[in-house]
Every structure is written in C-alpha cells, then in structure tokens.
C-alpha cells in the first residue's frame, strides 16, 4: 500500500531524529545507515527512498540538531539577557558534560562535522552565526564589532570548555575547567563587557 505524502514526511522526520541522536551518541563514522533504519523500524533499502546518501542524512540530522539548539537559545533570549546567560551557563555543568544526546551538535560531533562535506558544514555554520546574532542583539546599542567579537569568543570558549572537560581523566580538573570558564566568561567583568554584564 502506497503511503501518503504526510506519512512519508513523518517517516522521513523520524529517520532524521533517530540519526541525530545516534550520531551524537556514537559518532557519525561509527554509525551505519542500516543501524539507523533498524531503529526506525524500516529496512535498509527504504533508506534510499528518503536520502541520496549517508552524507545527505548527516546534513539533515546535523542541521536539525542545530535548529533545536538555536530555537532554545532564541526562546531564552526572548526572556531577556539574564535568561540567555542562564541558558549558556547550563552547558557549563557536569550534567551536560556527561550527557550525549542534548544540546549543540558542535560540542557532540565537532571534529567529525569539520571534516564533513560542504552541505553539512553550511547548516552548522548558519546555526553558529544565528547564535552569535542572538547575543549581539541582546547587547543593545553597544558598538557592533566589539559586541560581535565578544559573542564569537563566548561561543568558542563555551564549546571548547565542554569539549576539554570531557577529555580530562581527572574528575576534579574536569569540573574546574567548567567552573573557570563559567566564572571568566559569563560573569560581569570590569575589563571586558559582554552579554553577561547586563544581568
């Protein structure tokens, strides 16, 4: 029996969601198309009715993960600078560090995404720029270039801190990486004005 367009779209969406979660958990290279399709309750052959290649699936899955991350950031920003800063601070916690399924796909799959094809990187780059724009808008009438620089640094440090924390084999030092970044990056500073300074 032929599926309706709505059913096909729902199946497509389910495959993308399962792929996004599995890629975050196991990595892109370590995850096969057959594994994803089995998890979706479908045959391997059905994959090619939805995607031209694994790269096409990776592009959609990574883009969908990034969209969720950006939408959550936008929702936090809509509540004001303090809520946005709190949203960022939630990533600098052991709970997020030890999780693998939520949050920014760059933190979960950064090195693999950097080696991916152009279509994958385009979606991720778009999301990162959106996050920077959110921070810039919250800064109000401060000088544009300076605020954008702060936003770039903030996002880079956030991603780097969680990644570094995950690599540490000393739990205490791993926690310290998060705490130091939280203190230096997201707290008001007399030497550097950033989004956090408007709490």
DSSP letter at 41 equals T
Q: For residue 184, is pLDDT > 90?
A: no
Residue pair 19/36 in contact by the 8 Å Cβ criterion: yes
Kindly list the distances between the CA atom of residue 16 and the CA atoms of 62, 71, 156, 172, in Å, as whole numbers in the listed order.
9, 17, 27, 37
Homologous superfamily of the 53-198 domain (CATH): Tetracycline Repressor, domain 2 (1.10.357.10)
Instruction: Say how far apart CA 109 and CA 88 lie, in whole Å.
Output: 19
Which is more confidently placed, 191 or 120? 120
* Residue range 124-150, pLDDT digits in tens: 999 999 999 999 998 876 666 788 998
Q: How many CB atoms lie under 10 A from the CB of residue 168?
A: 15
Which is more confidently placed, 172 or 100? 172
Instruction: Say how far apart CA 31 and CA 140 lie, in whole Å.
Output: 43
Residue pair 105/69 in contact by the 8 Å Cβ criterion: yes
Q: How many CA atoms lie within 13 A of 71 on its CB side?
A: 6
Name which of 166, 155, 10, 154 is nearest 69 in CA terms: 155
- Predicted confidence band at 197 (pLDDT cuts at 50, 70, 90)? very low
Q: What is the mean pLDDT of the chain?
A: 86
């Amino acid at each position: 029996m032929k599926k309706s367009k709505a059913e096909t779209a729902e199946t497509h969406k389910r495959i993308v969601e399962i792929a996004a979660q599995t890629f975050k958990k196991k990595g892109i290279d370590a995850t096969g198309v057959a594994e994803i399709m089995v998890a979706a309750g479908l045959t391997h052959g059905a994959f090619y009715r939805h995607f031209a290649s694994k790269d096409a699936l990776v592009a959609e899955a990574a883009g969908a993960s990034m969209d969720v991350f950006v939408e959550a950031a936008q929702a936090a920003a809509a509540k004001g600078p303090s809520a946005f800063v709190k949203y960022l601070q939630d990533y600098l916690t052991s709970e997020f560090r030890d999780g693998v399924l939520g949050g920014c796909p760059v933190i979960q799959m950064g090195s693999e995404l950097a080696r991916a094809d152009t279509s994958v990187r385009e979606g991720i780059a778009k999301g990162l720029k959106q996050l920077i724009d959110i921070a810039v808008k919250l800064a109000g009438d401060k000088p544009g270039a300076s605020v954008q620089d702060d936003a770039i640094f903030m996002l880079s440090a956030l991603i780097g801190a969680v990644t570094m924390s995950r690599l540490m084999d000393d739990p205490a030092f791993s926690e310290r990486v998060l705490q130091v970044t939280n203190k230096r990056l997201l707290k008001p500073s007399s030497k550097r004005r950033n989004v956090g300074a408007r709490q």
